[in-house]
Amino acid sequence: MIVDDDADDRELMGEAIQQIDKSIGIKYAKLAYEALDMLSRPENSLPNLILLDLNMPRLSGNQFLALIKKSERLRSIPVVIFTTSRLESDVEEAKQLGAFSFLTKPSRYSELVDMLRKILENNWKLMDQHH
């Protein structure tokens, strides 16, 4: 699941993931509260990974992260913060809230593909350990 209020960033991340593995299904949410609504519906399957932007209106990435980590049903989903922020305080807060990883959005598409490939490979290893 990609949660980002920037349409271009959502599209680029989606394209990069599809380039890595076309079989990966992607759910998109423009805003954190929309993602929370999608995740809270029992009829929806849960994602294996959430790519989350920090700076969003109404409900920030860190507020969203705090809410899902309090949920019995959602807390085990790895959340990777993917943001333009380079602030150490943002990194620390995200880690304290339970983020799996914190990455700064790269400026080049090839770097994005490489970053996402590493994240997905690590996530697949994690999932194999849990099954």
The Cα angle at residue 116 between residues 83 and 48, in degrees rounded to 5:
95
Per-residue pLDDT reduced to its tens digit, 20-71: 999 999 999 999 999 999 999 989 899 999 999 999 999 999 999 999 999 9
Q: Could you tell me the two tokens for 65? A: 């992260």
pLDDT value, residue 19: 94
Q: What is the pTM of this model?
A: 0.90
Residue 128 makes CB contacts below 8 A (sequence gap 6+) with none
pLDDT at 125 over 80: no
CA 98 to chain centre: 12
Per-residue pLDDT reduced to its tens digit, 75-89: 999 999 988 888 888
pLDDT value, residue 86: 80
DSSP 8-state secondary structure symbol assigned to residue 24: -
Domain spans of the chain, in order of start: 2-130
pLDDT at 101 over 90: no
**Top-tier CATH class for 2-130:** alpha beta
Q: Pinpoint the alpha helices (H) of the chain.
A: 7-20, 32-40, 61-70, 88-97, 109-130
